[in-house]
Structure 1
Amino acid sequence: MNILLATDFTEAAKHAINCIHQITQTWTSRKEIHFTLVHGFKPHVPYSNTPSIPVYYDPSLKSSLQQKLEHEKGSLQFTMQVDTLFEEGPLPLVIESAVKNKKADLIVMGTRQKSAFERVTVGSNTAEVMQKVNTPILAIPLEAKCKQMKSVVLTSDLESINIDHIHFIKKWLQDNHAQLKILHVSDKDKNHETLIKKTAMHHHFSETMHEHHFVYNNDPIAGIQEYIGKEKPDLLIALPRDKNFFQKLFHISVTEDMVYHTQIPILILP
């Protein structure tokens, strides 16, 4: 498996890299995993931390960031097989290129929640990557605890599911020795048992140990957040039909404190 580790040298990126390292420690395919640290270099930087201030060209920045990337690689080589990819351009475009060149099977990205501005920028990066590639993305919030993913929740809208996604989920469950819970969110109580038996998803997971869970809410995102807050699973697997799904799920209103906002890793299958 080829895994891309997106890094901007922030605590969020370091946390995500540390988490995927810990998660894959017990995988039977551990020796077959190859990691690539990916950094998208922007030669123009702002005069200050204020986004509205004009930018200037810093010729020494490229060399400094390359050294940072190699230093980060050096600190990881003792525990994982890793190389680096350093390219000029916005991170989503650099990752899109890396996915093709490295034949990546998974992209790991950190997300941070310290401020509204950071949440918007990081969330937008991940959402844009999701639109550009068809590779699974593991988004790990800075607040998420690094632990084995024994309890996995898959969101379902009872629509058809890509067979490649089925294979990926089954392999993920096997590697993590995880239990699968399929979450259905609807605005009213329906005859779910009859509906589920008619779906391709039910057929594909018939030989995989799993449970079906139901939440009634007219807002699917709020329903997912409610379930996560109550059940506290280790991972959410999302099959977003709506490209704004990630932003809706990860964004917290500046004025409203959402009790059930997501603080667990999300595996996005575009």
Structure 2
Amino acid sequence: MKSVIVPTDFSDTAKKALVFASTVAQNLNLDLVLLHVFNLTGSLPYESPSQIEQEIYEAQKASDKQLAILKNQCLAEFKNEVKLLSIYGVISEVIEQVSEQVKADFIVMGTRGAKDIWSNIMGSNTYQVVKNSICPVFVIPDTADIQDMKNIIYASDYTNNEVKIVRNIVDIADRFKAKTNILHIHDVEEPNLADDETLGDWLLTFFENENIESHITLGSNAIEGIENYLQKNQGDLLVLAMKDRAFFDNLFHTSVTKHFIQDFNMPLLVLPK
């Protein structure tokens, strides 16, 4: 059975992400993997291996208990299978390992944004998972409205595998009875707007019987263009597509994706590209 991984630290932010994840899993007929990654914050360097092993055992027992409580609280009406995992380690590394082991379809993570030190740590964990994940990652800010998805917005750069990416988005949108909006940000310094319009129209020819539209907005950069569009148009989910890892650290993808992970109030889906 295909699955969604939901990392949790048992906070309200993580619970909100779990509620969102359960809706996604229900609509896409996926199982849930509820994951808590723990560490030994109070351990001393001179403790013996047997003492540390005992502490890990006790911490895992406590984690297992909390996961069972969380499952009963938040997933009482969830129909598919829920697997509970408590693992000792580094958050981003464990999530990556588990996603590969279970061949996850999605990861769903909550984030507190960037308002204080702890929030920055959580935002960093989320960012690292997004950066390294081989599967799509939903990022759910604690301030997000997780209402029914009616309008999905995909910020497209019109390069590399766009038909495949849009097909994946449309398939998700269909399950939610949502509309797919392809948004391209045209640089205000570039004169050839007609070329972008032609590319948008060409892309739509692959989806003639789908609920989909193409839009172009002007902006001096991608963040400005997306935010300008969202000020005037309803959106329930923003989708960004990553380049392969070799391109990840260039200015566009680093600044845009990190901005929307840390400073945004709408659910975000980041797809490998």
Q: Is the CA contact 1:39–1:85 (under 8 Å) kept in the aligned structure 2?
A: yes
C-alpha distance 106-172 of structure 1, shift in aligned 2 (>3 A): same
Tell me by how many angstroms 1:142 deviates. 0.6
Alignment of 1:102-181 (within 5 A): 102-113=102-113, 115-161=115-161, 165-181=165-181
Q: Is the CA contact 1:150–1:177 (under 8 Å) kept in the aligned structure 2?
A: yes
Cα distance in structure 2, aligned partners of 1:114 and 1:123 = 7
Q: Which moved more, 1:212-221 or 1:172-181?
A: 212-221
Residue 3 (structure 2) aligns with: 2
Residue 16 (structure 1) aligns with: 17
Q: Does 1:33 align with 2:30?
A: yes
Identity rate of aligned residues, in percent? 26
Q: Is the CA contact 1:237–1:266 (under 8 Å) kept in the aligned structure 2?
A: yes
Q: Which moved more, 1:173-182 or 1:77-86?
A: 77-86
Q: Is the CA contact 1:23–1:147 (under 8 Å) kept in the aligned structure 2?
A: no
Letter in 2 for 1:16: A
Q: Does 1:195 align with 2:199?
A: yes
TM-score w.r.t. the length of structure 1 is 0.81
Could you say what secondary structure the match of 1:236 adopts?
A: strand
Cα distance in structure 2, aligned partners of 1:183 and 1:216 = 10
Instruction: Give the structure with the higher percent helix.
Output: 2
Is there any run of 5+ residues in structure 2 with no aligned partner, and where?
45-51
Q: Which moved more, 1:143-152 or 1:67-76?
A: 67-76
Cα distance in structure 2, aligned partners of 1:145 and 1:107 = 19
After superposition, give the CA deviation of every residue in 1:138-195 in whole Å (9 maximum; x if it has no partner): 1111111121101110101111226653442122011100111111112226113223
Could you say what secondary structure the match of 1:44 adopts?
A: coil
Tell me by how many angstroms 1:103 deviates. 1.5
Residue 88 (structure 2) aligns with: 88
C-alpha distance 64-265 of structure 1, shift in aligned 2 (>3 A): same
Cα distance in structure 1, aligned partners of 2:37 and 2:162 = 30
Letter in 2 for 1:247: K
Q: Is the CA contact 1:43–1:62 (under 8 Å) kept in the aligned structure 2?
A: no
C-alpha distance 76-217 of structure 1, shift in aligned 2 (>3 A): same
TM-score w.r.t. the length of structure 2 is 0.80
C-alpha distance 73-161 of structure 1, shift in aligned 2 (>3 A): same
Q: Is the CA contact 2:17–2:109 (under 8 Å) kept in the aligned structure 1?
A: yes
Residue 229 (structure 1) aligns with: 231
Is there any run of 5+ residues in structure 1 with no aligned partner, and where?
48-56, 253-261
Cα distance in structure 1, aligned partners of 2:168 and 2:11 = 29
Q: Which moved more, 1:175-184 or 1:61-70?
A: 61-70
Q: Which moved more, 1:3-12 or 1:120-129?
A: 120-129
Cα distance in structure 2, aligned partners of 1:41 and 1:18 = 22
C-alpha distance 267-206 of structure 1, shift in aligned 2 (>3 A): same
Tell me by how many angstroms 1:197 deviates. 4.2
Cα distance in structure 1, aligned partners of 2:229 and 2:90 = 35
Cα distance in structure 1, aligned partners of 2:257 and 2:43 = 27
Q: Is the CA contact 1:239–1:268 (under 8 Å) kept in the aligned structure 2?
A: yes
Could you say what secondary structure the match of 2:242 adopts?
A: coil
Tell me by how many angstroms 1:102 deviates. 1.5
Tell me by how many angstroms 1:228 deviates. 2.0
Residue 97 (structure 1) aligns with: 97
Say what the alpha-carbon RMSD is for the aligned residues.
Answer: 2.5
Q: Is the CA contact 1:235–1:267 (under 8 Å) kept in the aligned structure 2?
A: yes
Tell me by how many angstroms 1:135 deviates. 0.4
After superposition, give the CA deviation of every residue in 1:48-82 in whole Å (9 maximum; x if it has no partner): xxxxxxxxx89354432232122212334522231
Cα distance in structure 2, aligned partners of 1:186 and 1:159 = 13
Q: Is the CA contact 1:123–1:246 (under 8 Å) kept in the aligned structure 2?
A: no
Alignment of 1:200-211 (within 5 A): 201-211=203-213
- Which consecutive segments of 4 or more residues in structure 1 shift more than 6 A? none
Q: Is the CA contact 1:108–1:138 (under 8 Å) kept in the aligned structure 2?
A: yes
